[in-house]
Structure 1
Amino acid sequence: MYHLPETPFSHPLRLAVLISGGGTTLDNFVARIAARTLPAEIVLVIASRSDCGGVDKARRHGLDTRVVSRQAHTSTATFSDEIFALCREARVDLVLLGGFLCLLQIPDDYLGRVMNIHPALIPAFCGAGYFGEKVHRAVHARGVKVTGCTVHFADNQYDHGPVIVQRTVPVYGADSPADIAHRVFEEECQAYPEAVNLYASARLRIIDGRVWIEGEGSTRSPTETA
Structure 2
Amino acid sequence: MKKMVLFASGNGSNAENIMAHFEKSGQGTVVGVFTNNSNAKVIERAKKFQIPTYIFNKTELSDDTVLNQLQELQPDLIVLAGFLLKFPIHIINAFPNKVINIHPALLPNYGGKGMYGIHVHQAVLENKEKETGITVHYVNEHFDEGEFIFQANINIENCSSAEEIAQKIHELEREHFPKVIATLLTSNF
TM-score, normalised with respect to structure 1: 0.78
1:105 matched to which residue of 2? 88
User: 1:130 offset after TM fit, Å?
Assistant: 0.5
Structure possessing the higher radius of gyration over alpha carbons:
1
Q: For 2:178, which of 190, 193, 210 is the aligned residue?
A: 193
- Please give the alpha-carbon distance, in whole angstroms, between the structure 2 residues aligned to 1:132 and 1:83: 25
1:133 has 2:118 as partner:
yes
User: 1:189 offset after TM fit, Å?
Assistant: 1.6
- Please give the alpha-carbon distance, in whole angstroms, between the structure 2 residues aligned to 1:140 and 1:45: 32
**Residue type of the alignment partner of 2:5:** A
Q: Check whether the contact 1:111–1:155 (CA below 8 A) recurs between aligned residues.
A: no
**Residue type of the alignment partner of 2:179:** E
Structure 1 residues without counterparts, runs of 5 or longer: 1-11, 205-226
User: 1:181 offset after TM fit, Å?
Assistant: 0.6
1:50 matched to which residue of 2? 38
1:69 has 2:57 as partner:
yes
Q: Deviations over 1:67-113 (max 9, x none)?
A: 0112xx29x632xx322211111121110001000111233230201
Q: Deviations over 1:123-160 (max 9, x none)?
A: 00110000111111111111110100000000111112
User: 1:203 offset after TM fit, Å?
Assistant: 5.8
1:145 matched to which residue of 2? 130
1:41 has 2:29 as partner:
yes
1:86 has 2:74 as partner:
no
**Residue type of the alignment partner of 2:126:** A
1:59 matched to which residue of 2? 47
Structure 2 residues without counterparts, runs of 5 or longer: none
Q: Check whether the contact 2:104–2:117 (CA below 8 A) recurs between aligned residues.
A: yes
- Please give the alpha-carbon distance, in whole angstroms, between the structure 2 residues aligned to 1:202 and 1:106: 24
1:9 matched to which residue of 2? none
TM-score, normalised with respect to structure 2: 0.92
- Please give the alpha-carbon distance, in whole angstroms, between the structure 2 residues aligned to 1:51 and 1:30: 19
**Residue type of the alignment partner of 1:69:** N
Q: Secondary structure at the match of 1:35?
A: helix
User: 1:194 offset after TM fit, Å?
Assistant: 2.5
Q: Hey, which of these two has a bigger chunk of helix by percent?
A: 2
Q: Check whether the contact 2:76–2:185 (CA below 8 A) recurs between aligned residues.
A: no
For the aligned residue pairs, the C-alpha RMSD in angstroms reads: 1.6
Q: Secondary structure at the match of 1:129?
A: coil
Q: Check whether the contact 2:137–2:147 (CA below 8 A) recurs between aligned residues.
A: yes
- Please give the alpha-carbon distance, in whole angstroms, between the structure 2 residues aligned to 1:203 and 1:124: 29
